[in-house]
Structure 1
Amino acid sequence: MTPTSSSPSVDSAARPDTDGRWTPRLVLLLIALAWPTQLLAAGGILGANATAGVAQAFHTTQVVWFGLTLTLTSTLLTPFVIKLGDLYGKRRVMLAMTALGALGETLAALAGSFWLVLAGRAIAGFYGPFGALSFAAVRDVFPARLVKSASGIMGSSVGLVALVSPFLAGWLVDGWGYRGALWFLAAATAVAFTLVALLVPETPRHSFETGFDWLGGLVLGGGLTAVVYAVGQGQSWGWADARTLGWLVAGTVALAVFLLIERSSAHPILDLKVLRRRPVALALTAGGLAQTVAFTMPGLAILLALYPHIPGVSAGLGWSAHHNAVVSVSWNLVMFGTGLLASRLLRRFDARRIWCAGLVVMAVGYTLVGFRHGNELQLALTSCIANIGAGVVVAGAPALVVGVVTRDEQGLGSGMLNMLISLFGAIVTAGAYAVLAADSTVVKGTAFYLDTGYSWIFWLGALVTVVALALSLFIPPLRDPEAEDARPAGATA
């Protein structure tokens, strides 16, 4: 018997009448889901480029909150978004999220004080968990034969975003300052709202429940938020600082309390029986770790590129942001192209083998980056190897989740993967900065990093990838969504 969710589908998904081939309507539908999903990645790049302008405009030493506010709001809301999507349909929740996202970025762009900017970013954070719904929606609205490839294309499109966003960020920030970046995000989020409203059909509800576990959601979201906050601040506060330890303990206690609450809740916000299944736990953990590496390492490589080259003091390459954007075209194109190829192969071959092959290549690639990153040619060649694997990872992770959960559990699976990427991302980033700090030189209060530190952050990425590979070897054969979705709702195999 195949375990099923405790919340079977209430209504049947409206599937397009096709034989499993791509049609113009399906292409538009994919764009409508991919645009708002990958806008999150673009927003991260634009926000990073706008941070210095915000600090200077408002003369604040607390500019870290410009990005952190959005991240914490998104983390807190993710459990609620997962459940609301199952209760009321994902399209309705997506529309609310994109509307609030556009409103928040508009408020931040218009703000005349730093705290009002933060209020706008907090509201914009409602849009943050969009990926928890969009990948799950693919299974609801695409023909079963195209679920894996559509998910893969949507995931791999992050390479295209990484290709264009640095140039866009430079143009906006150089021409209009930080407000230019925020106005663009507001307009792009409004476009996302329009695309979802016009092109995405309502998805089926996947829950009979009328109650809602608000307490469980707040405790889970609050616990995750506390841990992410502590890890994010640990480097500046110090890992032994009472504030860091206090937030870590508070977050850990909240997560433990959440487990107790869910066991006795009549309407649990997360179905823990699903998460306790070995295939689900393995796929989510391996997928979260591997995607964390794929998303985090390129951002850390920007430090290497932009920090100055001062012999004996700083081992950065000393590039301009524009030069870095030009050089990074190579590996971002490789990531996008590999992801598209992998999305096609996922329909024909065992997704586990493709996934594991991608992990091997990514681990080898980042090992090589650690050894060879001293100039444009070295960094481009080694990063292209790493991003061959990363392209497979971003395309394969959604297919991995599809293969271990039922259709009714897809929202839970995608949402948990989203939460783990946020959590692992904070931990890996903090670990990378700790590694850099261990091999640094401080000049007039500014830390400059030496080459050994840069090497070790890439080797850290390779090590995390190897851990994901080791877990992936124990994932059992995956479900076929075409066969799974062909059965009546609630049927077991």
Structure 2
Amino acid sequence: MPRTTAARPQRSPAPSLITAVLALSGTVVSLMQTLVVPLLPDFPRILGVTADDASWLVTATLLSSAVATPIVSRSADMYGKRKMMVICLAIMVTGSVIAGVGGSFLWLIIGRALQGFSSALIPVGISIMRDELPKEKMGSAVALMSATLGIGSALGLPLAGVLYEGLGWASIFWVSAAAGTLLLLAVVLVVPESKVRTPGRFDYAGAVVLSGALAALLLAISKGGSWGWGSEPVLLLFLSAVVLLAMWVPYELKVSHPMVDLRTSARRPVLMTNVASLLIGFAMFANMLLTTQQLQLPASTGYGFQLSVITAGLCMVPSGLAMVIFAPVSGRLIRVFGGKTALIAGAAVMIAGYVGRVFFYDSIASVIIGSTVVSIGTAIAYAAMPTLIMGVVPITETASANGLNSLVRSIGTSTSSAAVAAVLTSVTLTVGAAHLPSFDAFKDVFWMAALASAGSILAAVFIPRLAAPRPAVPVGAVSELVVQGRVLAADHRPLTPAVVTVLRTGGEPVDWSRVDAEGNYSVALPGAGKYLVVANAGGWAPLAQVFDFDGRTLQHNFLLAKRLELSGTVSVGGRAVPGAVVTLLQATGEHVATTHTGNDGTYAFPLPPAGRYVVSMLHPVTHQALAGKLAVDSRSVTLDLAAPLSEENTDEPVRA
């Protein structure tokens, strides 16, 4: 077996320092998304373009982030998490510089697209937290990183106004470049590179098809309002997204190293968490969009307060600060009650905030309080999602799983933006010569966000609770080491589908891995010691063995020798019948397989999927026939077909 000597333990930076650097990356991401928003009304005049063209400064970032997040997250699992953070930050800084010096609309679009790569920092950073922080600190750290998304969004609005008025529009991109450069240096100096990786070939075809599908879907959602939801371009984009996804899903299910492990994503804990994430993303974004609009609308509407962009942005700061303050509360809630309870509690707080905003809207204080309550609920819910995801996916896939979760949330926010725009432009009132949204439109969106939050609670109800949390690696210990191998049959051909599960000898879960199409698996072990390893492949008897891991042997294969089967003997008048035709049918009549008995009258089929079946036999000479019924579960089963010497058939079923 190949052997690799484990590196000596190295002193890691303090967990609080790692947390601070990674959490700041969340702030940078939210700044990239919000800095240009206050300037959108002025960009058409500055750049000499239409308002619809100027909106591409947001759309370009949205599309590139949707494409980059799953690709970078998967690459982080394969090639190194810190490495991919550095690459993303370098691309973001490059985009900021291009936007700052380009001076033309085209260069601004290119720069904003490159800035979108920063979105992948969040799932990759959260997965680094799982790898490097002790268990008792991880919940609070993830909550803080989620909270910095809020403070970044809250600071981005007034900061953009101040920079624009004082230093000009290009200054927002130079500040982005400076912040990205400082953060890049901090990541290089502070964040250690995780040794938890999943080797293999990158799924280029899957990445291209998924990127096309996501770009088409999000472009249709973001531009549907301005282009017309029934227009040919929008309908074509939706159709393209459906066709590409229809091509992508079966390809991902059969490729050896998929871009996204759909089988893991379809597991109930992951699937329901992602459904809840989409709905929470929808509800969260409505709060940010509506609050700033209401504060800036004319007082003559009866509910607006006619504040400037900078003042309205400053009114969002309490919401961002509340998210930071509640980060440790969220972490403690997750640690004591679990991620499921925290997600439900966060969504319930969001519902309370939105219902309150329907009835209390006549003062700036009530608007700020309502927005802050929603933000507190968002902080709690956002903190719970990565915890739920990382609790059930393989350790070697945490970045890609969190990347998918972040992508789902971004689809929720994009949908929210489109829905809010549609409602606000359809339910209006006339103020002078202007048509402005009425407060009924705001109420409609508040109720929509509350219903989305309620839907996330319903999804969370179906998330099963973890029986026991996986142990974390203590800080200062040797980093987790990845053990690889293959699950093989006795003739050394790969077995798939198969799963390898690792537990401590006391029964506590450590990690698990789904075997790829070539029989390969990868699991992360927290150090030397004895582990109980169970390998299970469809149609084969599972294998359990104790693996005495010495910290150096990084490859271990499993040979499954016993194949599960449906077998039996065919006899007539007590004598075995060789060469008899034996057919296996589903109870509903569909043909499954046909074989012939051997010289000793025995037959065997690979064990079919669980269900009810009929087995028939036909004598090769006399053509005497007989059939029997049986039920198959996950164990080998025997069914003997014994016919009398008479050629008359019996109507009584033959029992196994």
Structure 1 residue 303 and structure 2 residue 293: aligned? Answer: yes
2:128 equivalent among 137, 142, 155: 137
Residues 316 and 245 from structure 1, CA distance in 2 versus in 1: closer, same or farther, beyond 3 angstroms?
A: farther
Other-structure match for 1:157: 148
2:249 equivalent among 246, 256, 259: 259
Q: Is the 8 A contact 2:296 2:306 kept in 1?
A: yes
Structure 1 residue 418 and structure 2 residue 418: aligned? Answer: no
1:39 equivalent among 7, 16, 28: 28
The Cα of 1:192 is off from its aligned counterpart by 1.5
TM-score of the pair, normalised by structure 1: 0.90
SS of the residue 1:92 aligns to: helix
Q: Is the 8 A contact 1:53 1:178 kept in 2?
A: no
Letter in 1 for 2:31: A
Deviates more, 1:59-68 or 1:154-163: 154-163
Other-structure match for 2:16: 27
Other-structure match for 1:440: 428
Deviations 1:336-364 (A, max 9, x none): 22233212332233232222122111112
Structure 1 residue 476 and structure 2 residue 467: aligned? Answer: no
Aligned partners of 2:393, 2:5: CA distance in 1, in Å?
A: 18
Deviations 1:178-204 (A, max 9, x none): 211111111111112111111111112
Aligned partners of 1:14, 1:144: CA distance in 2, in Å?
A: 22
Other-structure match for 1:384: 372
Residues 377 and 63 from structure 1, CA distance in 2 versus in 1: closer, same or farther, beyond 3 angstroms?
A: same
Aligned partners of 1:339, 1:15: CA distance in 2, in Å?
A: 31
Deviations 1:388-423 (A, max 9, x none): 322212322222222232322311221111110111
Matches within 5 A, 1:10-409: 25-61=14-50, 62-209=53-200, 211-311=201-301, 316-409=304-397
Aligned partners of 1:122, 1:257: CA distance in 2, in Å?
A: 26
Deviations 1:105-140 (A, max 9, x none): 101010121111112222222323221211111111
SS of the residue 1:133 aligns to: helix
SS of the residue 1:448 aligns to: strand
Residues 14 and 98 from structure 1, CA distance in 2 versus in 1: closer, same or farther, beyond 3 angstroms?
A: farther
Aligned-pair Cα RMSD in Å: 2.6
Q: Is the 8 A contact 2:96 2:174 kept in 1?
A: yes
Where is the strand percentage greater, Structure 1 or Structure 2?
A: 2
Aligned partners of 1:352, 1:11: CA distance in 2, in Å?
A: 40
Deviations 1:428-467 (A, max 9, x none): 2111211112202478996411110011111111111000
Q: Is the 8 A contact 2:158 2:312 kept in 1?
A: no
SS of the residue 2:436 aligns to: strand
- Which structure 2 residue ranges, 5 or more long, are not aligned? 475-479, 483-500, 504-508, 510-656
Deviations 1:186-233 (A, max 9, x none): 111111211111111111243121x22111111112101111100100
Residues 328 and 126 from structure 1, CA distance in 2 versus in 1: closer, same or farther, beyond 3 angstroms?
A: closer
User: Which gives a bigger RCO, structure 1 or 2 (Cα 8 Å, sep 6+)?
Assistant: 1
Letter in 2 for 1:35: L
Letter in 2 for 1:328: M
Aligned partners of 2:70, 2:144: CA distance in 1, in Å?
A: 25
Deviations 1:149-197 (A, max 9, x none): 2111211223433443333222211112221111111111111211111
Q: Is the 8 A contact 1:53 1:177 kept in 2?
A: no
Where is the helix percentage greater, Structure 1 or Structure 2?
A: 1
The Cα of 1:367 is off from its aligned counterpart by 1.6
The Cα of 1:44 is off from its aligned counterpart by 1.9
Aligned partners of 1:456, 1:16: CA distance in 2, in Å?
A: 56
Q: Is the 8 A contact 1:28 1:199 kept in 2?
A: yes
Letter in 2 for 1:179: A
Letter in 2 for 1:434: A
Aligned partners of 2:286, 2:9: CA distance in 1, in Å?
A: 35
Letter in 1 for 2:137: L
Aligned partners of 2:416, 2:46: CA distance in 1, in Å?
A: 31
Aligned partners of 2:112, 2:451: CA distance in 1, in Å?
A: 34
Aligned partners of 2:267, 2:373: CA distance in 1, in Å?
A: 34
Aligned residues: 476
Aligned partners of 2:36, 2:173: CA distance in 1, in Å?
A: 8
Q: Is the 8 A contact 2:93 2:176 kept in 1?
A: yes
Q: Is the 8 A contact 1:13 1:203 kept in 2?
A: no
**Identical aligned residues as a percent:** 26
Please identify the structure whose Cα radius of gyration is greater: 2
- Which structure 1 residue ranges, 5 or more long, are not aligned? 1-9, 19-23
Residues 245 and 444 from structure 1, CA distance in 2 versus in 1: closer, same or farther, beyond 3 angstroms?
A: farther
The Cα of 1:294 is off from its aligned counterpart by 2.4
Letter in 1 for 2:351: A
Deviates more, 1:226-235 or 1:43-52: 43-52
The Cα of 1:382 is off from its aligned counterpart by 2.4
Aligned partners of 1:315, 1:256: CA distance in 2, in Å?
A: 46
